[in-house]
């Protein structure tokens, strides 16, 4: 995951350096948002996994990695979504709160769904 994150950050840097957002159109913007989303998801997941492993959890590494990846993707969705809203001049405090609440509800749903699945 660490190597993939480094490659994705390099890709994002290349997109920033070589793609003109005014002339690239939709493809350039899609590449920008896709690379930053994937780079953030990977980086946040790796950091979260390192923190979880240092805390001495009794869960297996694969389970901790799944949890870290899920939370990393959700945080990357939040950050990328906020960047997208700001680019459209739609970022307001109530949009931020609604976005965070929506992702929090989704995380609680995923946690409860997984616990129900584990009970069977």
DSSP 46-108: HHHHHHHHHTT-SS-HHHHHHHHHHHHHHHHHHHHHHHHHHHTT---HHHHHHHHHHHHHHHH
**Boundaries of domain holding 59:** 2-119
pLDDT recorded at residue 119: 57
Full pLDDT tens readout for the chain, 120 residues:
899 999 999 999 999 999 988 888 899 999 999 999 999 999 999 999 999 988 877 778 888 999 999 999 999 999 999 999 999 999 999 999 999 999 999 999 999 986 655 655
What Rg, from alpha-carbon coordinates, does the chain have? Answer: 17
pTM beyond 0.85: yes
């Amino acid at each position: 995951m660490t190597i993939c994150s480094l490659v994705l950050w390099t890709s994002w840097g290349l997109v920033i350096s070589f793609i003109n957002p005014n002339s690239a159109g939709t493809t350039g913007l899609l590449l920008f948002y896709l690379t930053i989303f994937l780079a953030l998801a990977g980086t946040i997941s790796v950091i979260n996994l390192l923190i979880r492993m240092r805390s001495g959890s009794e869960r297996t590494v694969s389970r901790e990695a799944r949890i870290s990846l899920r939370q990393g993707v959700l945080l990357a969705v939040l950050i990328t979504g906020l960047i997208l809203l700001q680019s459209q001049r739609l970022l307001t405090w109530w949009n931020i709160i609604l976005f965070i609440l929506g992702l929090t509800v989704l995380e609680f749903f995923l946690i409860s769904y997984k616990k129900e699945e584990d009970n069977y």
